[in-house]
Copies of this chain bind each other. A is one copy, B any other.
Amino acid sequence: MSGTNMRSRGRPRLFDEDAVLDELTALFWRKGYSQTSMADLVDASGVHKSSLYSTFGTKEELFAKILQRYLAARMGMFSKLVEQAGPGIDGIHAFLEMLRGDLVSGTGQWGCLLVNSSSELSGTAPGFENFGVAFRKELRERLRALIRQAEPEVTANNSVTDQRTDLFMTFMLGLNLTVRGGADENEIGRVIDAMQATVDTWR
């Protein structure tokens, strides 16, 4: 975004930094942090090891960079989803429908990189534990706003909204594990249906 092509002197890169980061992200996403070796990253990207180090730093630094990048993109995606979803219960339904579409195909099938990483590294973490705190907080606030909108003004109640938000967050975490566990489209569908049925009781 800022001065990407203000290269001054010296030999230019033979690879596209963003494209490489995309590939490395996919690898970490699929295999997890500790199960992905530098050799794997080299093979996947075609970039030599020293170039990876000189460009992105150590494996830990690289992963931190990738996680940041991922979180930024994901938050943008969620924002768009929430935005497109519109207000009310129908909005939540629409949100879940989009989630369904994302989970059964493409990027969503490996779960959420942040959730996976947190789970994997929470027992031994160097500092990744609290990495996604801000992200989680922001996501929770947006979801809460969406849920709040859906409640009739008369019966609106903060603690109820909080509970529903907690349930929704927990549901999404569980869904992440379900998907990553290799659930097929039908199973994912049933789980989302179940949540939609629950959301309907919020009318």
Contacts and interface: CB of A to CB of B under 8 A. Distances in A.
Contact of A164 (B119, B160, B182, B194): B194
A45 interface: no
A155 interface: no
A170 to B, nearest CB: 4
B124 A181 contact: no
Interface size class of A (residues with CB under 8 A): 35 or more
Nearest to A165: B194
- Taken together, the copies of this chain in the complex come to 2
A163 interface: yes
Nearest to A170: B174
Interface in A162-203: 162-164, 166-167, 169-178, 180-182, 187, 190-191, 193-195, 197-198, 201
B174 A177 contact: yes
26 contacts: A31-B123, A35-B120, A35-B123, A110-B123, A116-B119, A129-B182, A160-B197, A162-B190, A163-B190, A164-B194, A166-B190, A166-B191, A166-B193, A167-B195, A167-B198, A170-B175, A170-B191, A170-B195, A171-B174, A173-B174, A174-B174, A174-B176, A174-B177, A176-B177, A198-B198, A201-B201
Given A35-B123, A162-B190, A170-B194, 6 more contacts: A32-B123, A119-B180, A163-B190, A166-B191, A167-B171, A198-B201
